[in-house]
């Protein structure tokens, strides 16, 4: 569930240096003029736009039709675009002391948040390894009988086993089968880290992790402290949820599978990465709960196809006063898995021309989960459309967490009442049933927080050189046990690479954005509900059809990356600091219930 990095954003985050007139010019003119600086920015934006869009289209073709040829084409287009952005990043330093407008100064700063590799071989290795790992992940399969193609299962099939099975042995086999695949590109990843760090150091950063942490309008060490502060705010809520789930899993599988204390085996959470636990709801739901917000059966009964699923989500955004999706969206998006070729099914949103050619790439199934995912992905699309009139370098989220939070903010308004209005839920549960609804959502949102936090904790250590390849798995599981209280279901493999079994590691997509987005979406939800004039439990608020909330939301989206993220946040909420109190407010009734249940179950 992520927006494929728009090429503009990618060029600001990953750049390479080659020989050019830009780089040479920096040594010839010590005191450039304002006019020269403005001309440089204008020319650079036009160049990045042209090359970036070519690379973006090549990436789309590759991810929707994985072959050796499309892999090579994507790598070549990406390398050409990134080489140009590297030249620009280095050349931009020349203008750092020129007194420019606030907008121009911000653009220069964004241009320099980049990697820089001067060696042709390094540049080639970086792009080749990146595309190679992404393709290996997309093509990954677990064959129960080596050499027997009929026994092979792809990630979607393995995830279905974890979601539906209640056989620990079967779940463990599926979990281990998928995680063994990533060892195939561990060596590539280690080399990729080396090359990436060269690029970060070339731009004055300690390593790639420090570069990533510099993307948030604050020093790298300040961002690390900020994420830790937010985690400590929400940790008590997670601990209560984890203890309750432990006790219910123990009732289901017994103490031989689920210990009284310590971490719980990862394969028992109904999800390949134990990052979302909603598939456990039938096991852990409150005994008195009879209502359900699962609309999977209804979607199937109504024969809602992939396009119909997207139409529901589009209707939510247009109900806020936003525009309809362009005709090309329906013509060019990949909404289902093709039968004739390999594709990357991982849901993503794409903006291929920085104007109106927006698409999603997904393999949609008529499930509650995909219904929510589509609302999320269209959040990316509507953000893209909202800031399309901004200059190129401002066509992006206020930070990458914002881009992830927009659709999830809308998904928080997918309440029982909203589903009832659509005819997808027969009855709106009585308020006395809210604990069940809150628990279901906590299994998705609260359970996700420590995983979203630790992925980059691990990568920051890897990029900083604190963790060598031989210790990848060791440190990965130390962090998972510390933050998630989850453990590997079997002894670690020799030369294993369990972190690489997560798409965002294989694709080198920063993950802190998802942690920030999870906190931010509740903060935005609370603010928009307030704007809509809603009074009542936060979990019952939906801004569906509220034009006042939609107007304020749209105004923030239109800002794009033109202002620091705290100004964008303030435009909606009146607050200029991330605050996890909104998530605590949202789940306050559940926290009371969980603590009471844990006391009873432990007796």
Q: Would you say residue 557 has pLDDT above 60?
A: yes
pLDDT digits (tens, 9 = 90+) for 369-397: 899 999 999 999 999 999 999 999 999 99
When comparing pLDDT for 466 and 72, which is higher? 466
Mean pLDDT, the chain, rounded, equals: 90
Pairing of strands 358-361, 141-143: unpaired
pLDDT at 25: 38
When comparing pLDDT for 344 and 552, which is higher? 552
pLDDT band for position 538 (cuts 50, 70, 90): very high
pLDDT band for position 66 (cuts 50, 70, 90): confident
Give the CA distances from residue 189 to residues 136, 238, 403, 477, 505, in Å, rounded to whole numbers and listed in that order: 12, 32, 26, 18, 9
pLDDT digits (tens, 9 = 90+) for 304-335: 999 999 999 999 999 999 999 999 999 999 99
Percent of the chain with pLDDT over 70: 94
pLDDT band for position 19 (cuts 50, 70, 90): very low
pLDDT at 290: 61
> How far is 243 from 442, CA to CA, in rounded Å?
13
pLDDT digits (tens, 9 = 90+) for 399-421: 989 998 999 999 999 999 999 99
In this structure, how many other beta carbons lie within 10 angstroms of the beta carbon of residue 101? 11
Q: How many CA atoms lie within 13 A of 347 on its CB side?
A: 23
Structure tokens at 328: 């090309």
Structure tokens at 347: 């849901």
Cβ pair 529, 541 in contact under 8 A:
yes
Place of tokens 């093509």: 139
Q: Kindly state the average pLDDT of the residues 558-577.
A: 94
Pick the range with the lowest mean pLDDT from 262-271, 355-364, 446-455, 516-525.
355-364
Q: How far is CA 513 from the centre of its chain?
A: 6
Pairing of strands 358-361, 348-351: antiparallel
pTM of the model: 0.86
pLDDT digits (tens, 9 = 90+) for 272-298: 999 999 999 999 999 876 667 789 999
> How far is 519 from 230, CA to CA, in rounded Å?
8
pLDDT at 29: 52
CB neighbour class for 118 (10 Å; exposed up to 12, middle 13-18, buried from 19): middle
Q: Kindly state the average pLDDT of the residues 361-376.
A: 91
Phi–psi pair at 365, nearest 5 degrees? -120, 150
Give the CA distances from residue 365 to residues 160, 297, 307, 403, 469, in Å, rounded to whole numbers and listed in that order: 12, 12, 11, 24, 37
> How far is 235 from 390, CA to CA, in rounded Å?
38
Q: Would you name the residues annotated as active-site residues?
A: 377, 504
pLDDT band for position 30 (cuts 50, 70, 90): low
Q: Kindly state the average pLDDT of the residues 235-264.
A: 97
Q: Kindly state the average pLDDT of the residues 4-25.
A: 38
pLDDT band for position 71 (cuts 50, 70, 90): confident
pLDDT at 313: 96
pLDDT at 10: 45
Q: Kindly state the average pLDDT of the residues 234-244.
A: 98
- Residue 356, helix vs strand vs coil: coil
Query: Which are the contacts of 463, defined by CB distance < 8 A and separation ≥ 6?
Result: 193, 196, 197, 200, 207, 208, 209, 210
Q: Would you say residue 428 has pLDDT above 90?
A: no
Pick the range with the lowest mean pLDDT from 84-98, 204-218, 463-477, 580-594.
84-98
pLDDT digits (tens, 9 = 90+) for 98-121: 999 999 999 988 888 767 676 778
Domain residue spans of the chain: 2-135+187-204, 296-446+525-585
Cβ pair 434, 539 in contact under 8 A:
yes
> How far is 295 from 374, CA to CA, in rounded Å?
14
Cβ pair 151, 99 in contact under 8 A:
no
pLDDT at 135: 85
Q: Would you say residue 366 has pLDDT above 80?
A: yes
Give the CA distances from residue 102 to residues 35, 136, 428, 500, in Å, rounded to whole numbers and listed in that order: 15, 43, 50, 40
Phi–psi pair at 487, nearest 5 degrees? -130, 160
pLDDT at 96: 87
Helix intervals (H) in 487-579: 503-506, 512-531, 547-559, 565-573
Residue 142, strand partner residues: 153
Query: Which are the contacts of 331, defined by CB distance < 8 A and separation ≥ 6?
Result: none
Give the CA distances from residue 114 to residues 93, 210, 317, in Å, rounded to whole numbers and listed in that order: 12, 11, 34
Query: Which are the contacts of 315, defined by CB distance < 8 A and separation ≥ 6?
Result: none
Place of tokens 């997904």: 362
Q: Would you say residue 246 has pLDDT above 50?
A: yes
Query: Which are the contacts of 441, defined by CB distance < 8 A and separation ≥ 6?
Result: 539, 587
pLDDT at 289: 64
What is the residue-wise DSSP string for 514-540? HHHHHHHHHHHHHHHHHHTT--S-GGG
DSSP state of 256: T
pLDDT at 288: 74
pLDDT digits (tens, 9 = 90+) for 177-223: 999 999 999 999 999 999 999 988 988 899 999 999 998 989 999 99
CB neighbour class for 121 (10 Å; exposed up to 12, middle 13-18, buried from 19): exposed
Q: Would you say residue 345 has pLDDT above 70?
A: yes
């Amino acid at each position: 569930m992520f927006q494929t990095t728009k090429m503009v954003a990618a060029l600001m985050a990953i750049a390479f240096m080659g020989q050019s007139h830009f780089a040479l010019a920096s040594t010839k003119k010590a005191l450039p003029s304002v006019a020269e600086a403005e001309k440089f920015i204008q020319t650079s934006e036009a160049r990045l736009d042209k090359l970036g869009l070519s690379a973006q289209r090549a990436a789309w073709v590759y991810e929707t039709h994985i072959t050796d040829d499309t892999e090579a084409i994507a790598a070549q287009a990406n390398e050409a675009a990134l080489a140009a952005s590297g030249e620009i990043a280095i050349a931009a330093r020349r203008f750092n002391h020129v007194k420019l407008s606030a907008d121009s100064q911000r653009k220069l700063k964004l241009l320099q948040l980049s990697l820089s590799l001067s060696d042709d071989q390094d540049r080639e290795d970086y792009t080749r390894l990146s595309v190679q790992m992404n393709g290996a992940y997309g093509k990954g399969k677990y064959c129960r009988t080596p050499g027997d193609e009929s026994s092979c299962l792809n990630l979607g099939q393995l995830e279905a086993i974890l979601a539906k099975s209640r056989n620990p042995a079967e779940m463990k086999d599926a979990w281990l089968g998928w995680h063994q695949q990533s060892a195939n590109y561990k060596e590539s990843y280690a080399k990729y880290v080396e090359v990436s760090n060269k690029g970060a150091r070339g731009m004055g950063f300690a390593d790639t992790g420090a570069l990533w942490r510099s993307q948030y309008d604050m020093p790298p060490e300040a961002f690390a402290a900020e994420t830790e502060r937010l985690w400590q705010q929400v940790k008590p809520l997670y601990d209560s949820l984890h203890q309750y789930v432990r006790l219910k899993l123990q009732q289901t599988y017994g103490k031989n599978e689920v210990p009284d204390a310590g971490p719980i085996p990862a394969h028992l959470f109904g999800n390949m990465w134990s990052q979302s636990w909603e598939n456990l709801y039938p096991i852990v739901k409150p005994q008195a709960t009879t209502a359900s917000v699962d609309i999977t059966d209804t979607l199937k009964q109504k024969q809602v196809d992939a396009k119909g699923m997207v139409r529901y989500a589009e209707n939510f955004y247009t109900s806020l006063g936003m525009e309809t999706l362009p005709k090309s969206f329906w013509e060019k998006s990949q909404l289902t898995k093709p039968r004739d070729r390999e594709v990357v099914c991982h849901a993503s949103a794409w903006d291929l021309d920085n104007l109106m050619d927006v698409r999603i790439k997904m393999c949609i199934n008529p499930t509650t989960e995909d219904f929510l995912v589509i609302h999320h992905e269209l959040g990316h699309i509507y953000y893209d459309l909202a800031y399309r009139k901004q200059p190129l370098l401002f066509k992006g989220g206020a930070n990458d967490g914002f881009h992830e939070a927009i659709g999830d903010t809308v998904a928080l308004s997918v309440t029982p009442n909203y589903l009832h209005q659509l005819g997808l839920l027969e009855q709106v549960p009585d308020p006395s049933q809210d604990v069940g609804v809150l628990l279901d959502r906590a299994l998705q949102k609260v359970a996700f927080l420590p995983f979203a936090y630790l992925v980059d904790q691990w990568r920051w250590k890897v990029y900083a050189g604190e963790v060598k390849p031989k210790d990848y798995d060791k440190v990965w599981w130390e962090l998972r046990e510390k933050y998630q209280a989850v453990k590997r279901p079997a002894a670690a493999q020799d030369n294993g690479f369990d972190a690489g079994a997560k798409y965002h590691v294989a694709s080198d997509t920063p993950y802190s954005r998802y942690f920030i987005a999870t906190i931010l979406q509740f903060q935005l939800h609370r603010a928009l509900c307030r704007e809509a004039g809603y009074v009542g439990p936060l979990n019952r608020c939906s801004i569906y059809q509220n034009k006042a909330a939609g107007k304020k939301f749209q105004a923030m989206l239109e800002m794009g990356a033109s202002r620091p993220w705290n100004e964008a946040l303030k435009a909606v909420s009146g607050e200029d600091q991330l605050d996890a109190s909104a998530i605590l407010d949202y789940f306050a009734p559940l926290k009371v219930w969980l603590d009471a249940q844990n006391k009873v179950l432990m007796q």
